Amino acid sequence: MNISDSETIAGYLATMNYERTNIVEEADFIFFHTCCVRDSAENKIIGRIGETIRLKEKNKDLIIVVSGCMMQQPGAAELLLNKFPHIDLMIGTSNLNSIQYLVEQVIINKLNNLKYQKAQIKCFNESNSNFDEDAPILRSSWPNSWVSITKGCNNFCTYCIVPYVRGPEISRHPENILNEVHNLLKNNYKEITLLGQNVNSYGNDLKSEWTFAKLIEIASNFEYNYRVRFMTSHPKDLSQELIETIAINKRISKHIHLPIQAGSDKVLNLMNRKYSVEKYIKLINNIRNLIPGVSITTDIMVGFPGETEEDFLETMNIVKQVQFHNAYMFIYSPRKGTPAAKMPNQISSLEKKDRISRLIKLQNKISCEISKEYLNSTYEVLVDNIISDDIYCGRTDNGRLVKFKAQDSNIIGSFVNIKIKYNKGSSLWGEII
Ligand code: SAH
Ligand code: SF4
């Protein structure tokens, strides 16, 4: 989602004649788009902002702007500004459409020698925000593209900061989504990823019959050669209608990212996830029965408050039982203002680290075993990038990353058949046939 937001920010800056550079020392303008879902992301960005003090000493005209979820937390912008007074501007995620005006103000102040004027803080409440349909998006992921379908979240999982910083869930108007998809296809994009914190609840706030299943079905019915993906699905809302739609539609990728978070009902309950392990397993079985070849990936957290060794072993058991293709695995990180941060029985950092390393080891072994099942079979791969010299990569229909040799960079953006020759850990290597 932040990649998608960043493409909007880049679009606004391009209309002001800014161009991208990969050399930070050359930049006249540095924009930090922050995330506050876990403290590791926050710490990283604080480190990076700190590094710019030295750059600003060398180039007094350098403009430093900070935006994103971190700025939406009460008092966070003020705290950051106290720590880093060299920041010129702070913008909330719902104010991105004012970037041009706000940046112009910074430039005018600099021209008038008001160099040390305190930064402006423009972080308004997300709840009033609507979709910015006129945003001049500067896409950087061709042949892949991101299309937001909802923003915000109503679920209030007890560990999660998203509903507080991104506001309540709002569904984008279906006509605007479908127009954007159609325009992308006309412009030769080959993969569309529909984005939302919980895509399955798309349409709940629209006073109409729209469901996510209906939306993705129409989004995948244009007469072009392309794929449609989506992220993320909450297990409590994944409908039978959606599973059947994915099963019968050849343009919808056979990959479902379905975060389980924990393998113990006690912990799931404390997390306010609203499903049981049994329900999750039933859902997986149903998906696998109806969609042959589907890959299922997940998010898992360890060290949630009150998670005992027995609870953690239940998570390990579920991971063994389900056999996820891949998993994003996180150490629980207390977020100020969320219920879990105040829960008793917080787990020590030592314990969390021990659990995550055991979990990662197990999942890596499973991912590696699953990868072996791909050997000697041929898959259609959408080539989306060059890694180095003559090594390219792309994804299978079910989302597996495949690396292979090719000579011609025109291959990017095309669908090619690749026979999988070997695996290095979980990553697949093949050759064009
Ligand atoms: N809306 C998505 C998740 C968005 S956040 C969903 O519900 O599936 C992405 C992942 O970050 C979550 O699935 C969760 O595993 C992790 N996460 C969120 N808050 C966290 C926290 N406080 N500590 C550690 N991991 C967290
Ligand atoms: Fe956070 Fe839960 Fe909403 Fe996902 S569904 S964004 S984890 S509150």
Instruction: Tell whether ligand 1 has an atom less than 6 A from the beta carbon of residue 146.
Output: no
What's the total number of domains in the chain?
4
DSSP structural state of residue 187: T
Residues of the chain with pLDDT under 50: 116, 127
Q: What's the gap in Å between 156 CA and the centre of ligand 2?
A: 6
Q: What's the gap in Å between 197 CA and the centre of ligand 2?
A: 6
* Domain harbouring 348, CATH code: 3.30.750.200
* Domain harbouring 385, CATH code: 2.40.50.140
Task: State the Cα–Cα distance between residues 406 and 393, nearest whole angstrom.
Answer: 10
For residue 385, the Cα-to-chain-centroid distance in whole angstroms is: 19
Are 81 and 163 contained in the same domain?
Answer: no
pLDDT in tens, 334-369: 999 999 999 999 999 999 999 999 999 999 999 999
DSSP structural state of residue 252: B
Instruction: Tell whether ligand 1 has an atom less than 6 A from the beta carbon of residue 37.
Output: yes
Are 333 and 389 contained in the same domain?
Answer: no
For residue 21, the Cα-to-chain-centroid distance in whole angstroms is: 23
Instruction: Tell whether ligand 2 has an atom less than 6 A from the beta carbon of residue 162.
Output: yes
Are 115 and 216 contained in the same domain?
Answer: no
Which pLDDT belongs to residue 304? 98
Sign of dihedral through CA atoms 186, 191, 195, 199? positive
Instruction: Tell whether ligand 1 has an atom less than 6 A from the beta carbon of residue 38.
Output: yes
pTM over 0.85: yes
First to last CA, the chain: 35
Domain that holds residue 230: 141-253
Are 98 and 150 contained in the same domain?
Answer: no
Query: Using CA positions, which residue lies closest to atom 4 of ligand 2?
Result: 197
Among 201, 148, 204, 151, smallest CA distance to 176 is for: 148
Whether 42 is covered by a domain: the verdict is: yes
Q: How far is CA 187 from CA 82, 344, 372, in A?
A: 45, 53, 37
pLDDT in tens, 164-187: 998 899 999 999 999 999 999 999
Which pLDDT belongs to residue 123? 62
Which pLDDT belongs to residue 1? 86
Q: What's the gap in Å between 4 CA and the centre of ligand 1?
A: 18
Instruction: Tell whether ligand 1 has an atom less than 6 A from the beta carbon of residue 335.
Output: yes
Whether 112 is covered by a domain: the verdict is: yes
Q: What's the gap in Å between 333 CA and the centre of ligand 1?
A: 10
Which of ligand 1's atoms lies nearest the C-alpha of 335? 22
Are 153 and 230 contained in the same domain?
Answer: yes
Are 83 and 102 contained in the same domain?
Answer: yes
Whether 204 is covered by a domain: the verdict is: yes
Whether 410 is covered by a domain: the verdict is: yes
DSSP structural state of residue 34: E
Which pLDDT belongs to residue 119? 63
Instruction: Tell whether ligand 1 has an atom less than 6 A from the beta carbon of residue 297.
Output: no
Whether 276 is covered by a domain: the verdict is: no
Are 183 and 157 contained in the same domain?
Answer: yes
Whether 182 is covered by a domain: the verdict is: yes
Which pLDDT belongs to residue 117? 54
* Domain harbouring 246, CATH code: 3.30.750.210
Q: What's the gap in Å between 167 CA and the centre of ligand 1?
A: 16
Question: And the tokens for 180?
Answer: 């954007």
CB 215 within 8 A of CB 185: no
